[in-house]
Amino acid sequence: MYLEHFGLCSKPFSNTPDPRFLFLSRNHREIFAHLLYGIRDRLGFIEVTGEVGTGKTTVLRTLLSQLQEDEAFRAALIFNPTLSALDLLRTLASEFGLDPCGDSSCELLCRLNAFFLEQNAAGRTLLLVIDEAQTLPPEVLEQIRLLSNLETDSSKLLQILLVGQPELGELLSRPDLRQLSQRIAVRYHLGPMDAADTEAYVRHRLKVAGGAAELFSSGALRALHRYGRGYPREINILCERALVVAFSRDAGKVTTAMVRQSRAEMARNRRRSRLRLLPLLAGLCAALLGGWLYQAAVHPPEQGPMVPGPSGAAVAFATPTVAAAVEPARILALRDLLARSRQERTARAGLDSLLGLWGEQGLDAGASLGGSRLLRELGARGYEWTRFQSEAQQVLSLGLPAILEFVLPGVEGKRYALLQAAGPEKLDLRLEDGSEYSLFPQELLRLWFGSAYVLWRNHRGIHPVETPGQRGDGVRRLQAALSELGQYSGELSGIYDRQTITAVTHFQAARGLSPDGRVGARTLLHLNRALPGDSDPRLFDEREEGP
């Protein structure tokens, strides 16, 4: 509701990568120049690194938007690079509209090479963009190097842009990847903004949103740079909270004290988030104390990890007995089963099994876990697809079947298995060959560290709501859902007012989410899980949930 108070027409400090708010700081102008130079001159490889929150994704999306307006360019974006080398080629073929079927890398490379030559003859430049590239396994990086071999006498047929955190530079400096590293023609590290750019950045976003550029005092701007350290994401969060503080005080301007209060609130929220993870971390530590490389026995803790169940009540995982806890053979057997499988086959089997639980047929073979084609096909069937990274507590709290992603010590690539059922004392996995494997939660946590994919349906048709004062049937449906859950007692006005925002934050806090008052994908997911009356597949047997 602060939008009307400050005369704003939209939220100026949302962390979604909206090209309208793109601000070219000195660093961003340099990176744009490097990217355009490398792509238009067909130099082959480009590497861009930057800390979390520096604005890499915003720059990347704006660049792609600009290039896609020019028919001389075609781009393929891989936003989740946790693929095998073969799946990378299949995803690339699918993104360029080719048939992704093929059992060998050689076959797909030949097909891609023919397509690249055709596009080159037509005067088009092809670009492959891989975001979060620091997570690429070595065998996929080697496949990318082979792709860079596709060239004519005068230029590369495919331009490759690797974007990632600083760990990407460390990864490429490994001796076994020196051939790839030597081919990178353009490197750029995106650093934080300086004080002058921070001030200009805040004023620019306020102006785009229709507000006064002087809404923040000069002291507040200095505090924003100091506390936000020049990172756009941190500055956005601070600015958003400071505007809410100013609105609650009916002030016409944001002061230094308000920014300081916003920073203190952020610190408290982060401490609460860490505290919410303590039960799970306690269980994980108990599991890790099982011995060095699964060879020694453990003495189990008094209580296993607790997570909120689908109804919001806590589900306590019972700690296995000493006899059960000292069986590393079962864990090693699962590891060996996964290690002997091929990454792409475990991913496909997991996806097909997950769809089967929802009563759906399998998808086109070209729809891989990391490609946009999967999102399009699932969306056409009315499903949403959410990935969780290192958030085991959140995944289990949803009470939905999930595809678990395993990174196994000493095994290249990733492996996948379907978590299809759970109870207080065990978790049931479905493997690639259709067999089932049961483990105690502590045993699973020795191999799985929380990365997972969850499929869900938005049964009530509630849309994301992030702007105070927003109106419409979507807000009315949100209010009805919150009322059904006992979180909202007001009228179904269809206006995202203060009372509705308060109800949303209370619901978020109860579900272990960040209580920011924004109804995004994860809040919608939890809302749909909490509401009665759906026939979604259940991870927990209802009789085994907490009281």
Report pLDDT digits (tens) over 515-537: 778 888 888 888 888 887 667 88
Write the CATH number for 160.
3.40.50.300
Q: Residues 269, 294: one domain?
A: no
In the prediction, which pLDDT does 215 show? 92
Same domain, 185 and 200: no
Q: Which residue's structure tokens are 């550029």? A: 213
| pLDDT > 90? residue 254 | yes
Task: Pick the more confident residue, 176 or 239.
Answer: 239
pTM of the entire predicted model: 0.51
Instruction: Output DSSP code: residue 462.
Output: P
The region of weakest confidence among 76-90, 136-150, 318-332 is 318-332
Q: How many domains are there within the chain?
A: 3
Mean pLDDT value of segment 109-120? 88
Does residue 420 share a domain with residue 324?
yes
Per-residue confidence band for 272, with pLDDT thresholds at 50, 70 and 90: low
Give the residue from 156, 173, 190 where a domain finishes: 190
Q: Do 289 and 160 share a domain, yes or no?
A: no
Note whether 438 and 303 are same-domain residues. Answer: yes
User: Does 317 have pLDDT greater than 70?
Assistant: no
Tell me whether residue 474 is in a domain: no
Provide the H-helix boundaries in 453-541: 473-484, 498-510, 521-530
- Token readout for 425 is 């004392």
Task: Tell me the pLDDT band of 83, cut-offs 50, 70 and 90.
Answer: confident
What is the per-residue pLDDT for 443?
Answer: 76
The pLDDT value given to residue 384? 85
Assign 17 a pLDDT band (cuts: 50, 70, 90). Answer: low
- Asked if residue 528 is part of any domain, the answer here is no
- pLDDT of the residue at 509: 78
Structural domain includes residue 486: no
Residue 146 lies in a domain: yes
Q: How confident is the model at residue 219 (pLDDT cuts 50, 70, 90)?
A: very high
In a domain, 499, yes or no: no
Identify the sign of the CA torsion 83, 85, 88, 94. negative
Higher pLDDT, 65 or 112: 112
**Domain at 295, CATH number:** 3.90.70
Strand partners, 187: 47
Distance between terminal CA atoms of the chain?
38
The pLDDT score that the predictor gives to residue 542 is 46
CA 229 – CA 216 distance, rounded (Å) = 17
pLDDT of residue 24: 80
Q: What is the DSSP letter of 155?
A: S
CA 490, 495, 496: angle at the middle one, nearest 5?
90
pLDDT of residue 492: 93
Confidence of residue 202 (pLDDT cuts 50, 70, 90): very high
Q: What is the pLDDT of residue 19?
A: 66
Q: Which pLDDT score, from 0 to 100, does residue 316 have?
A: 43
> Bridge partners of 386?
454
What is the number of other CB atoms lying within 10 angstroms of the CB of residue 66?
14
pLDDT-derived band at 29 (thresholds 50, 70, 90) equals confident
Same domain, 344 and 450: yes
The domain boundary, picked from 274, 289, 311, lies at: 274
Picking from 57-61, 122-126, 452-456, which range would have the lowest pLDDT averaged per residue? 57-61
Write the CB contacts of 89 (distance below 8 Å, at least 6 apart in sequence): 102, 105, 108, 109, 112, 143
Q: Are residues 169 and 292 in the same domain?
A: no
CA angle 465, 468, 469 (to 5 degrees): 100
Location of structure tokens 């453990």: 298
| One-letter amino acid for residue 94 of the chain | S
Mean pLDDT, residues 132-150 taken together: 84
Mean pLDDT value across the chain:
79
Q: What is the pLDDT of residue 345?
A: 83
Place of tokens 């496909």: 348
Query: In which domain, by residue range, is 265 found?
Result: 2-12+193-274
Residue 123 has pLDDT above 70, yes or no: yes
Whether pLDDT at 289 is above 60: no
Q: Is the pLDDT of residue 293 over 60?
A: no
Which segments of 122-194 does DSSP mark as H helices, in order? 138-147, 167-172, 178-182
Asked if the structure places residue 487 within a domain, the reply is: no
Q: Name beta bridge partners: 452.
A: 388, 404
Q: Considering just the CA atoms, what is the radius of gyration of the chain in Å?
A: 25
Same domain, 67 and 160: yes
Do the strands 158-164 and 45-50 form a parallel or antiparallel pair, or are they unpaired?
A: parallel
Distance between CA atoms of 436 and 56, rounded to whole angstroms? 42
More confidently predicted of 510 and 540: 510
Residue 146 and residue 117 in one domain: yes
| Tokens linked to 517 | 């008052």
Three-state DSSP class for residue 338: helix
Considering only CA atoms, which of 18, 384, 333 is closest in space to residue 205?
A: 18
Q: What is the pLDDT of residue 271?
A: 60
Report the distance separating Cα 287 and Cα 106, nearest Å.
43
pLDDT at 224: 94
Does residue 546 form part of some domain?
Answer: no
Does residue 370 or residue 347 have the better pLDDT?
347
Answer yes or no: do 292 and 270 share one domain.
no
Using CA atoms, how far apart are residues 234 and 364, in angstroms rounded to an integer? 40
Give the number of other CB atoms < 10 A from CB of residue 103. Answer: 8
Per-residue pLDDT reduced to its tens digit, 448-484 = 876 788 888 888 888 888 788 888 888 999 999 999 9
Q: What is the mean pLDDT of residues 218-228?
A: 93
Is residue 498 over pLDDT 80? yes
In a domain, 491, yes or no: no
Q: Are residues 292 and 438 in the same domain?
A: yes
Top-ranked range on mean pLDDT: pick from 79-93, 157-171, 419-433: 157-171
- The CATH number linked to 239 is 1.10.8
User: How far out from the chain centre does Cα 268 lie?
Assistant: 24
Judgement on whether residues 131 and 218 belong to the same structural domain of the protein:
no
pLDDT for position 465: 85
The most distant pair of C-alpha atoms in the chain lies apart, rounded to whole Å, by 71
Point out the domain boundary residue: 131, 166, 190.
190
Extended strands (E) in 249-327: 306-308, 314-316
**Of 487, 537, 480, 534, nearest in space to 508 by CA:** 487
- Band (pLDDT 50/70/90 cuts) for residue 256 is very high
Q: Please say if the pLDDT value at position 365 is more than 60.
A: no
Percent of the chain with pLDDT over 70: 82
Q: What is the 3-state secondary structure (H, E, C) of 380-413?
A: HCCEEEEEECCCHHHHHHHCCCEEEEECCCCCCC
Q: Is the pLDDT of residue 203 over 50?
A: yes
Look at 284 and 298; give whichever has higher pLDDT.
284
| pLDDT recorded at residue 277 | 47
| 490 C-beta neighbours (distance < 10 Å), count | 15
